[in-house]
């Protein structure tokens, strides 16, 4: 949604409008030299539209008449002077224009701002003031926040619709509540075996999963909800599994200055706090906070976000284990090994479309295997998570 990238779901072309949408977890593309949205692609933008004129040149060499941060309109106020006059009449050549990518219409920014404001006051779906076609999320960045809220509102409505197959939906709901109760029980059991200093991560997750279980019992449940939860459960299962593993793992602190390459890797990915648990707890805290806000109303928004978040936590876990195991030998990586693995780690940590991120994680796992082989170490790789494996990316080392 919004970025225009390839669909993450291979069955995307066969999906119906009534089914849950697939949400992009890449960093929002709404940015320019003056401001940048830090949210994920599907989330309503946090930044206001840029007020500056575009400084780019068109193919003809003349200045763009659009706004900074928007796609440059396919219209030159000099080369296409007659067309400009026909469209904008008495407006001068210094006026800023906007071209919607969905319908291709050209409009004066001041006019379209006024029209959009009126549509919002009337609580209408935003449409092009000229051709009246409905604006899509990819129409422009200027109204991205409003258009994304519209899309989320439509998505939320799918989960409020009455269930058609009440019996099937009731059984699915009961099964999910049972599964959540089991996860809460397992997490609490792990809590009892974890030292107080390491319980923060598990407490956050246990509380979040239990809140979801309680909310689920009171929530509306239909076919779309059942479909979303079918996709969501494996990722939640992965999140609980890796959290239990991390809570019972003993991590190392920042390596000695005599091991500069390992120290550089540790500092880059875990900061100067010298505490792996704190770094991973912070990541999980963001994820659980997001779960609480959205999972009961629009669970489909979490399908890619949790999977992406778990892969990030998994990568950091593997990095910390590698640093710990090599440090035990009082040996260091070479600068070449350090630079190579940093490049692969960065790629695996970058939010991306699902199959791309899985490929990046698979590449990192292969790089870890090379490192372990070079140090004649037993492989510490752990590939039982569903969110890092893909039948299309079969690799013997990943257990697929």
Please write the tens of the pLDDT for every residue from 26-52. Answer: 889 999 999 999 988 888 999 999 999
| Residue 159 covered by a domain | no
**Residue 286 domain boundaries:** 166-388
Residues 228 and 174 in one domain: yes
One domain, residues 324 and 195: yes
Answer yes or no: is 213 within a domain: yes
User: Measured between alpha carbons, how far is 26 from 39 in angstroms, rounded to an integer?
Assistant: 9
Residue 351 lies in a domain: yes
User: Among 110, 142, 174, where does a domain finish?
Assistant: 142
Last residue of one domain, picked from the residues 86, 109, 142 = 142
- Please check whether residue 35 lies inside any domain of the structure: no
Q: Are residues 192 and 92 in the same domain?
A: no
Of 92, 110, 142, the position where a domain reaches its end is: 142
Q: Are residues 180 and 225 in the same domain?
A: yes
On whether both 376 and 270 belong to a single domain, the answer is: yes
Specify whether 132 is located in the same domain as 184.
Answer: no
pLDDT 10s digits, 328-380: 889 999 999 999 999 999 999 988 877 888 889 889 988 998 999 898 887 66
In this structure, the answer to whether residues 112 and 187 fall within a common structural domain is no
- Do 253 and 378 sit in the same domain of this protein? yes
Residues 49 and 113: their CA atoms lie apart, in Å, by: 11
Mark whether 60 and 195 lie in a shared domain.
Answer: no
Residue 88 in domain: yes
Structural domains of the chain, count? 2
Q: Are residues 228 and 370 in the same domain?
A: yes
Tokens of 240: 């609980």
Residue 183 burial (CB count, 10 A)? 23
Whole-angstrom Cα distance, residue 58 to residue 73?
A: 9
Residue 260 confidence (pLDDT): 95
Same-domain pairing of 378 and 247: yes
Whether 357 is in a domain gets the answer yes
232 and 174, same structural domain? yes
Q: What is the mean pLDDT of each run of 10 residues along the chain (400 residues)?
A: 46 64 84 92 91 93 94 93 89 87 94 95 94 92 94 85 75 91 92 80 87 83 84 87 85 86 92 74 79 72 81 89 90 94 93 84 89 83 64 37
């Amino acid at each position: 949604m919004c970025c225009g990238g390839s669909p993450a779901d291979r069955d995307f072309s066969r999906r119906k409008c009534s089914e849950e949408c697939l949400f992009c977890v890449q960093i929002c593309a709404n940015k320019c030299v003056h401001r940048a949205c830090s949210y994920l692609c599907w989330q309503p933008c946090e930044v206001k539209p840029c007020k500056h004129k575009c400084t780019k040149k068109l193919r003809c060499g003349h200045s763009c008449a659009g706004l900074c941060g928007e796609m440059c309109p396919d219209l030159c106020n000099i080369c296409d002077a007659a067309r400009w006059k026909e469209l904008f009449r008495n407006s001068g050549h210094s006026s800023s224009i906007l071209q919607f990518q969905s319908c291709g219409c050209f409009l004066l920014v001041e006019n379209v701002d006024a029209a959009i404001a009126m549509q919002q006051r009337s609580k209408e779906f935003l449409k092009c003031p000229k051709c009246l076609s409905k604006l899509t999320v990819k129409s422009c960045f200027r109204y991205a926040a409003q258009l994304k809220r519209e899309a989320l509102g439509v998505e939320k409505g799918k989960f409020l619709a009455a269930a058609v197959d009440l019996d099937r939906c009731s059984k699915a709901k009961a099964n999910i509540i049972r599964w959540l109760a089991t996860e809460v029980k397992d997490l609490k059991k792990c809590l009892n075996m974890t030292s107080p200093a390491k319980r923060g991560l598990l407490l956050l997750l246990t509380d979040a999963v239990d809140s979801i279980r309680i909310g689920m019992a009171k929530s509306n449940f239909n076919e779309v909800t059942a479909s979303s939860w079918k996709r969501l459960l494996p990722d939640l299962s992965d999140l609980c599994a890796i959290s239990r593993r991390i809570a019972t793992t003993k991590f190392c602190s920042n390596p000695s200055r005599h091991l500069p390459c390992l120290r550089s890797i540790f500092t880059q990915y875990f900061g100067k706090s010298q505490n792996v648990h704190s770094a991973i707890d912070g990541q999980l805290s963001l994820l659980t906070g997001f779960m609480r806000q959205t999972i009961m109303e629009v669970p489909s928004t979490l399908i890619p976000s949790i999977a992406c978040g778990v892969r990030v936590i998994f990568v950091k876990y593997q990095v910390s284990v590698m640093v710990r195991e090599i440090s035990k030998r009082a040996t260091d990586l070479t600068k070449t090994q350090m630079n190579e693995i940093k490049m692969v780690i960065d790629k695996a940590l970058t939010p991306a479309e699902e199959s791309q991120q899985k490929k990046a994680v698979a590449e990192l796992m292969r790089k870890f295997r090379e490192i372990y082989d070079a140090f004649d170490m037993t492989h510490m790789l752990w590939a039982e998570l569903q969110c890092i494996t893909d039948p299309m990316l079969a690799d013997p080392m990943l257990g697929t």
